[in-house]
Structure 1
Amino acid sequence: MEARLHPRKNIHASIRLLADPEQQRFDTTSTNLSMSGIQIAANKELVDHLLKQQTRPIHFDILFDTYDSLPFRCRLIVNRRQSHDEFLLGCKFIQLSDEHLELLTRILDQQA
């Protein structure tokens, strides 16, 4: 049994990941979402770019395609390889404002 603060929902949404430090953009999709984090489908190019970051833990911003004016700050928690070029990245949201929480609630409620 998983010990989670917030349940995850399978949500396949288009997202843009902005990788630190130069904010390089990667378009990808989410596989699930909760009020505290997101799982992202990633290819090897994206994972290699993230792992090149000098600072740990690894941080980056994501933008939901339909709400691209509100970046979510994330910390990489899990990097799981699915195949040679397919990965799942488990990420925790950090520094969430009321506006972030409202948007997450709206996205999760749309998938109910």
Structure 2
Amino acid sequence: MPDFKYNNKVYYNPVEFAMDQIGGTWKMPILWRLQDQTLRYGELRKAIPHISEKMLTTQLRELEQDGLVNRVVYPVVPPKVEYTLTEKGRRVMPIVQAIRALGLEFMREAGIEK
């Protein structure tokens, strides 16, 4: 497959393109927590204790830009913002589940307890 460009970045294959949208330390944990429910920013922050506020905000913006997460802002004080998976985000979940299962297998093989 020839190289291609998207959002001013050159990709060399479709796997790299997909992993750019769902990869990294925090995107899959965010998607995982949104798979069955709508969550507010503070609920996501509490559910992922090791992520900084800046990183959570950045990752949510990227997931929204890539069409995986929908953000709804309610015009109230204090501000209320809710996040849900989009249809595209729901299509990603079987892949996230498979990667999680593989990770758990690798952990068991390495003698790591959950």
Q: TM-score of the superposition, structure 2-length normalised?
A: 0.28
TM-score by length of 1: 0.28
Q: Give the helix-richer structure, 1 or 2.
A: 2
Q: Which of 1 and 2 has greater Rg?
A: 2
> Higher strand proportion, which one?
1
